[in-house]
Structure 1
Amino acid sequence: MEKVYVIHENKEWTEHLTKRLDELEVPYEEWHLDQGLVDLTEEPPHGVFYSRISASSHTRNHRYAPELTEGVLAWLERHGRKVINGSKALRLEVSKINQYMALNQAGIRTPKTLAAVGTEQIIQAAEKLQTQSFITKHNRAGKGLGVQLFHSIQALREYVEGPSFEEPVDGITLVQEYIQAPEPYITRCEFVDGKFLYAVKVDTSEGFELCPADSCTIDDLFCPAGEKPEDQSKFRVTQEVDKALIESYERFLSENNIQVAGIEFIKDQDGRIYTYDVNTNTNYNSDAEAKAGKYGMLEMAAYLKEELDKVKDKQILTV
């Protein structure tokens, strides 16, 4: 029997989707790829395969989940299976360098960024930026990993040469110009089936780690998605986003074969928009959605149901 296969490595981030699949009576199976075996001599089952692998998998001791998933996606795509957020999406998920190059290719502005491996190279990158303030972040990140704000080269040197330096899992540290917004918030645009669903304004006054998942806890440094009720108001659903920007994002997603994503941007003091993150393992904040009456995982489940129906119809025609 054809079904939806949910490929992931984090049960907490997936149960909200599977509850909606149950609600819509969609048959599904979870493939938890923190470890596994792929028999390349066999054909995969028929169905719809949705990848929710996250760049932050290594923080949950699932270090090789993205690499295993890349192999699984290659296997599925080789056999012509319907894959949502396939290998091209995963390539962008695990590398901000790849994200920025793809965004620039689509004509979308990103902050000035240099990539460095090595302590002295990180310092050199900051010097080359020639900006008063700058941030560091991990190339393979998720959850705002490694994001630090600096106002001097000396402060950066003390950090990278000190005991608190966070070594990126792929060894690559990004040094990026700091975009000073007139108000302390960023905007995240959510897309399902490559189409705009809604945007959410996120208060950044307490830091840079902007995970919207309900499972985010106050133990996650700087995370505004804490479990305290007052923290949840940091997320506010809105439809007030420039139409031309949304159209450019939708084109970008289409060009890169990405069906589900959250794209984050920030405005500077002069109103210029900088896009700095593409998250293909998107999560939604339930409190913000309840206030707005919009539900991302329900839309996601309905979309997967439609795609599964198409696969079933195609199978009937080929029998």
Structure 2
Amino acid sequence: MAKIYVLHENQEWTDHLVKRLEELQLPYEQWFLSEGTVDLTVEPPEGIFYSRMSASSHTRDHIYAPELTSAVLAWLERHGRRVLNGSSALRLELSKVKQYMELEKYGIKTPKTIAAVGKKQIVKAAEKLGVSAFITKHNRAGKGLGVQLFHSVDALGNYVESDAFEKPRDGVTLVQEYIESPEHSITRCEFVGGKFVYAVRVDTSEGFELCPADACQVGDLFCPAGEKVEEKPKFQIIDGFCEPIIQKYEELLRGNGIQVAGIEFIRNAAGEIYTYDINTNTNYNSDAEAAAGKYGMLELAKYLKKELEQIYVKN
């Protein structure tokens, strides 16, 4: 019997989807790809395949999960299986440089960024960038890996030569202009089936936390947190969100064969939008969803059901 196959390496992030699949009584199977084999001499099983592979898998000791997933996706696509968030999605998930190139291709503004390999080159990149405040981040990231805020090249130089310096998984560090939000927030837009579902406001007034934000954990030396004026939810779904940039995001997702994603942007004091992250392994905040009555994993499960039925129609 044809099933929905969920490819992943993080059970905690997948349990929420499994709950919705069971709620809808859908046939499914999980492929945990932290390790394994791909028998290229046989055909894949019948069904649809949804990849939730993450760029941060190495932080969970699943170092080669993306490489194994890449092999599995190539095998599935070669045999014409319906793959959601396939090879094109994984390509962007594993490289912010490639994300920025695609964003710019679709007329979407990104922060000024220089990619560097080597500690001395990281410092030179900051000098060349020539801005008063900048951040570093890992090219192959997730969970805000390597994100630090600096206000001087000297501070960066001290950091890269210290024991606190985090080596990127792929060796590439991004040095990027810091875009300051007057409201101390970023916006994350969620898409299922390539279509906009909702936008969530993420409060950054106390610094950055882990996903669903493009997060960082930084010390006072590099990133002093702003003062929080009032108590408010860290994640809050925006009612009636409607911005022209959504159309460009959908065009980008369509052009790259990506069905499920969360795209993050920040708005500066002049109201300009800068997009800085595409997450093809998206997660949702349960508190924000409960407050708004909108549920990303439920929408995703419904979408997977629709895709399965379109190919394997019951007679």
Give the aligned partner of residue 38 of structure 1.
38
Deviations 1:83-134 (A, max 9, x none): 0000000000010001000111111100000000001100010000000000
Structure 1 gaps of 5+ residues are 214-219, 223-229
* Native 8 Å contact 2:99 2:277 kept in 1: yes
* Native 8 Å contact 1:194 1:260 kept in 2: yes
Give the aligned partner of residue 143 of structure 2.
143
* Native 8 Å contact 1:6 1:28 kept in 2: yes
Give the aligned partner of residue 246 of structure 1.
246
Give the aligned partner of residue 128 of structure 1.
128
RMSD: 1.6
**CA positional deviation for 1:310:** 1.2
**CA positional deviation for 1:290:** 0.4
Give the aligned partner of residue 286 of structure 2.
286
Give the aligned partner of residue 116 of structure 1.
116
Distance 1:24 1:153 in 2: 54
Give the aligned partner of residue 295 of structure 1.
295
Distance 2:183 2:210 in 1: 16
Structure 2 vs 1, CA of residues 181 and 240 (structure 1 numbering), >3 Å: closer, same or farther? farther
Distance 2:287 2:231 in 1: 10
Give 1:105-254 correspondences, 5 Å limit. Answer: 105-212=105-212, 221=217, 233-254=233-254
**CA positional deviation for 1:16:** 0.3
Structure 2 vs 1, CA of residues 46 and 9 (structure 1 numbering), >3 Å: closer, same or farther? same
Distance 1:121 1:300 in 2: 42
Give the aligned partner of residue 217 of structure 1.
none
Distance 1:112 1:306 in 2: 40
Give the aligned partner of residue 20 of structure 1.
20
TM-score (norm 1): 0.92
Q: Which amino acid aligns with 2:173?
A: T
**CA positional deviation for 1:241:** 3.5
* Native 8 Å contact 1:204 1:210 kept in 2: no
Distance 2:160 2:46 in 1: 49
Q: Which amino acid aligns with 1:143?
A: K
Structure 2 gaps of 5+ residues are 219-229
Give the aligned partner of residue 57 of structure 1.
57
* Native 8 Å contact 2:147 2:217 kept in 1: no
**CA positional deviation for 1:206:** 2.2
Distance 2:37 2:105 in 1: 36
Q: Which amino acid aligns with 1:285?
A: N
Residue 278 of structure 1: SS of its match in structure 2?
Answer: strand
Deviations 1:277-311 (A, max 9, x none): 00000000011000000000000000000001112
Distance 1:240 1:148 in 2: 33
**CA positional deviation for 1:232:** 8.8
TM-score (norm 2): 0.93
Q: Which amino acid aligns with 1:109?
A: K
* Native 8 Å contact 1:185 1:266 kept in 2: yes
Identity of aligned residues (%): 67
* Native 8 Å contact 1:232 1:287 kept in 2: no
